[in-house]
Homo-oligomer: A and B are copies of this chain.
Amino acid sequence: MPAASGTPRPPARSGERGIPEAAVARLPLYLRALGGLAEAGETTVSSEELAAASGVNSAKVRKDLSYLGSYGTRGVGYDVQQLVHLIARELGLTQDWPVLIVGIGNLGHALAGYGGFASRGFRVAGLVDADPARVGEEVGGVAVSHLDQLESIVRAEQVSIGVIATPAAAAQSVCDRLVAAGVTSVLNFAPCVLAVPPQVGVRKVDLSIELQILAFHEQRRNVAVAGVAT
């Protein structure tokens, strides 16, 4: 879901062989679940089982997988390994993705040390921070460089994905520099909206937004209970 504002945005699927966005967003869930099943020694899996393991319902699983082609066996299910390959290829995880993380505060530390990246083809190609005191520190086996090095790292490491974990005030300028240096996908953890050219992809994660949504439902539950009780 690229940011952008007034841009009229063409209707998502432009005619190409189209797997719906909603399905794409679930493929990583299946991949994670399949990893667990494979470790448990399963060689085949039914849509029902995969559904349970990934927290989705089975009709959705079947539809989603059907977008990748018909690789299941009726009466049996899907081959776990084949499915892992199929999904990984579809998501583009069979290649190496060098990632640059900007902003090595608590969150940047957490991201740099996060095991879930490496296991999916993401490689931390660089860490940069504006604070000279942090430069040189090693996090997860990678040394922190100064923000000045941003451009040179992006070019030297062919980084196409940048992760922004800076304060909100710095995010747009960091983003501009990433884009100017050649980054075409940005994952933004700063609580702000980023403006980017239309060909650049942005996704955002805002920790406090999720909590607020939880609070909404929590409050509702309480109001409902109070209403019934009164």
A contact set with B: CB distance below 8 Å: 3-7, 16, 24-25, 27-29, 31-33, 48, 51-55, 57-58, 90-93, 95, 97, 99, 105-107, 109-111, 113-114, 116-117, 119-122, 160-161, 163, 184-187, 191-193, 199, 201, 203, 205-221, 224
Contacts and interface: CB of A to CB of B under 8 A. Distances in A.
A193 B110 contact: no
A93 B209 CA distance: 12
A-B CB proximity, top 7 nearest = A92-B219, A116-B208, A106-B110, A55-B193, A107-B110, A28-B212, A28-B209
State the oligomeric state as a number of copies. 2
Contacts of A107: 107, 110, 114
B208 A187 contact: no
A201 B187 contact: no
B216 A57 contact: no
Given A90-B216, A106-B106, A210-B205, A193 B53 contact: yes
